[in-house]
Amino acid sequence: MSILTALARAEAVESGRAQPLTTVRHTHIAERPLVLVPLSLAGEAAAPLAAIVGTEPDQPRLLVVANPRDRTQRFDFVAELARVVLSYVDGCARSVDTGAGGTKLRYAEAPQVIVPNRGGIEFVRLLGRSTRFRRPFGPYPVHRTVPILGQWLTFLRERADHPGSSMLLAMTEVLGNHWATGQSGLEDANLAALLGWIDPPGGLDGAAAAALAEDPLRSPPAGPSTDPTFDNEILAPALAAVARSDSDDFARERALAALTAAVADQMRPTWDLTWQAVRLLRGRPAGASVEARWAMDRDVFTMYHMALAEGTALPQPRRDSAVAAAGRLDRLEREQARYDAQRALDDPLVMAEFRLSGEAFTGTVVAASPNRVDTSGKKAALRPHITVQTEDPVRLEPGALLVSPARLAQQAMVVSVSSVDVVLELSKGMGRSTKQPAPGSVPEVGERVTYGPVTDAYQPPGRFPSRDDTPWTHGGPPPAVEYGPSDNDAAEDWS
């Protein structure tokens, strides 16, 4: 935990309200997100019990499996879920972004699926894994939409690993990135308690609201795991009643209604809380680069949607090969660096972390020589110097490269550091002239400036061998057979 987060948490305890960690929202919230609250059956690897899903807070769609251990019923449920999710996904691909320019096609929207917590993301992964290799023919055939849903869920789950992507969000994590509460990180994983601190119901303070939220009768667990007492007292008898009523249609209908009502009671509070959180997040202004990151999400979505339609989508194998794993890690690391940089550049409160650790500073320009020319190299180059007076505890060494959020294209090199000021040498971003910088490109005396160690400049991807050139150190080339679903997939124990 950084000093600033620790301070915000202490302040949250003292004031009884969560404290903001950011001045802006760093996560895109779509106009029409799809909220999904799943429940699974305790004791099973991936047996969905129920889900509540929808794009409008007042129109939840409730799906229930009458017998979660019955694979036919389970995949009937998946087919139902597929109808909702796939129509939502296709809806996002209906209109094209006309402002993008260039020849690249980009859809105007992309799916954004919001689950209440980290467990929800794991549920999406497992459901994707258990459905994407199934087929509408062969042993245990499923509805044709089931494997397509599996591919989309897998796609969404993989996007969730990408730093800065907003296509699959765990609400507790998004809130936790924006607010600090007076409780532990473990307690923050409870959506109801977390929201109790951020937006307590009338008259309560955060701690009291969070304490109330710990009562499983008031705020049932946000899933996918259910409350054990609910399992024993309500769910088990309800499932047994459905099982007993096999021959009697009337009794079965009644038992199903009772089961549905019971799980609906468990999920409805979480559904409402998730939408409450969506409203809270919408109420905050978006950071400057949120739109650019969402455009990246839309690009990826556009490519995958078209590839699926054309049948050219890359397979989603069970495991990454050595080359694929290394390439993916390289990409994730570059995205992480960029996301961290963009947040700091968008948000003075995030930059403050760097200022506290002495890696960044804010101050006033007290001297500037905008026309300074460096003639030591082969070609004379414009290299203005500015002196910034600051009270920040600067811990920078001469030679360090910095960027100012106000002038992203410009690079600043630390020339010298004293206890009161920092001298910087500027390069780039000053126009074409080698004598006169473009107006406004060099900070003037009296201007308040911030310089930090981060840049969101593009980093080229690493170079990796092709799959067929996997070296002997990593087991040599993998088997040449392209991966595809087979009959064996349907016979997996747990699917």
Partner 1 sequence: MTNVIDGILRDFGSAAGRGVVVDSPPGAGKSTLVVRAARTLAEAGERLMVVAQTNEQVDDLIDRLATAAPTLAIGRLSASTYVPAQRVIKHGTVTVSGAVGDMAASAVTIGTAAKWATVTDGSWERAIVDEAYQMRSDMLLRVAGRFSRALFVGDPGQLDPFSVVAVERWAGLSWDPMQSAVAVLLRHNPDLPVHRLPVSWRLPPSAAEVVSSAFYPFTPFEAGTKPADRRLEFSARALGGGARHDAALDETLETARRTGWALHELPARHTVRTDREAVAAIADLVTRLLQLGPVAYSEHAPDGRPVTVDRVAVGAAHRDQVAAIRQALAGTVAADVTVDTANRLQGREYDVTVILHPLSGRRDASAFHLEAGRLCVLASRHRHACVVVARAGIAELLDTHPSAEPVHLNVPVRFPDGWEANQAMLAHLSSS
Site membership for partner 1, residue 317 (CB under 8 A): no
What's the full length of the chain, in residues? Answer: 495
User: How far apart, in whole angstroms, are the C-alpha atoms of residue 392 and residue 147?
Assistant: 56
Report the residue from 20, 303, 464, 477 that binds partner 1 according to the rule CB under 8 A.
464
Give me the least distance between CB of 151 and partner 1, in Å please: 17
Nearer to partner 1, 228 or 465 (CB): 465
Q: Which is nearer to partner 1, 315 or 475 (CB)?
A: 475
User: According to the binding rule CB under 8 A, does residue 183 interact with partner 1?
Assistant: no
CB of 33 to partner 1, least distance (A): 24
- Please tell me whether residue 319 binds partner 1 under the rule CB under 8 A: yes
Stretch touching partner 1 by CB under 8 A, among 81-89, 210-218, 381-389, 463-471: 463-471
Q: Which is nearer to partner 1, 283 or 476 (CB)?
A: 476
Query: Which of 170-178, 213-221, 254-262, 461-469 is the region at the interface with partner 1 (rule: CB under 8 A)?
Result: 461-469
227-231: long-range contacts at Cβ-Cβ below 8 A with a sequence spacing of 24 or more? 227/266, 228/42, 230/262, 230/266, 231/42
What residues from 113 to 172 belong to the interface with partner 1 (CB under 8 A)? 161, 163
Q: How far is CA 32 from CA 28, 92, 94, 268, 282, in A?
A: 11, 9, 14, 19, 12
- Comparison of 103 and 473: residue with beta carbon closer to partner 1: 473
Among 118, 143, 252, 474, indicate the residue that binds partner 1 (CB under 8 A).
474
User: Total number of residues binding partner 1 (CB under 8 A)?
Assistant: 33
Output the smallest distance, CB 14 to partner 1, in A: 18
User: Amino acid identity of 390?
Assistant: T
Cβ 173 to partner 1 shortest distance, Å: 13
CA-based nearest residue to 27, from 282, 199, 271, 276: 282
The residue among 97 and 122 lying less far from partner 1, judged by its C-beta, is 122
C-alpha dihedral (400, 401, 402, 408), degrees to nearest 10: 180
CA distance 131 to 123: 12
Task: Give the orientation angle of helix 145-160 with respect to helix 71-92, to 10 degrees.
Answer: 70
User: Whose Cβ is closer to partner 1: residue 6's or residue 438's?
Assistant: 6
By CB under 8 A, is residue 471 in contact with partner 1?
Answer: yes
Nearer to partner 1, 141 or 471 (CB): 471
- Annotate each residue in 273-302 with x if it binds partner 1 (CB under 8 A) or - if it does not, as one string: ------------------------------
319 or 378: whose CB is closer to partner 1? 319
Nearer to partner 1, 199 or 421 (CB): 421
**Residues 320-379 contacting partner 1, CB under 8 A:** 320-323, 325-326, 328-330, 332-333, 336-337, 357-358
Kindly state the smallest distance separating residue 125's Cβ from partner 1, in Å: 10
CB distance 112 to 30 below 8 Å: yes
**Shortest Å, Cβ 480 to partner 1:** 17
Least Å distance, CB 449 to partner 1, is 22
Neighbouring CB atoms inside 10 A of 436's CB total: 12
- With 0-12 CB in 10 A as exposed, 13-18 as middle and 19+ as buried, what is 63? buried
Kindly state the smallest distance separating residue 359's Cβ from partner 1, in Å: 8
Between 44 and 161, CB nearer to partner 1: 161
- In contact, 113 and 124? CB cutoff 8 Å: yes
Q: Which amino acid is at 170?
A: A
Pick 71 or 118: Cβ nearer partner 1: 118
Stretch that binds partner 1, among 215-223, 406-414, 469-477, 487-495 (CB under 8 A): 469-477
Interface with partner 1 (CB under 8 A), residue from 228, 461, 475, 484 = 475
Residues forming a β-bridge with 390: 363
Q: CA-CA distance, 258 to 264, in Å (whole number)?
A: 10
User: Nearest distance from residue 411's CB to partner 1, in Å?
Assistant: 13
Q: How near is the Cβ of 31 to partner 1 at its closest, in Å?
A: 29
CB of 120 to partner 1, least distance (A): 17
Residues 381-420 touching partner 1, rule: CB under 8 A, are 395
Kindly identify the residues of this chain, within the stretch 3-62, that bind partner 1 according to CB under 8 A. Answer: 3, 6
Which residues of the shown chain bind partner 1 in the complex (CB under 8 A)?
A: 3, 6, 161, 163, 319-323, 325-326, 328-330, 332-333, 336-337, 357-358, 395, 462-465, 469-476
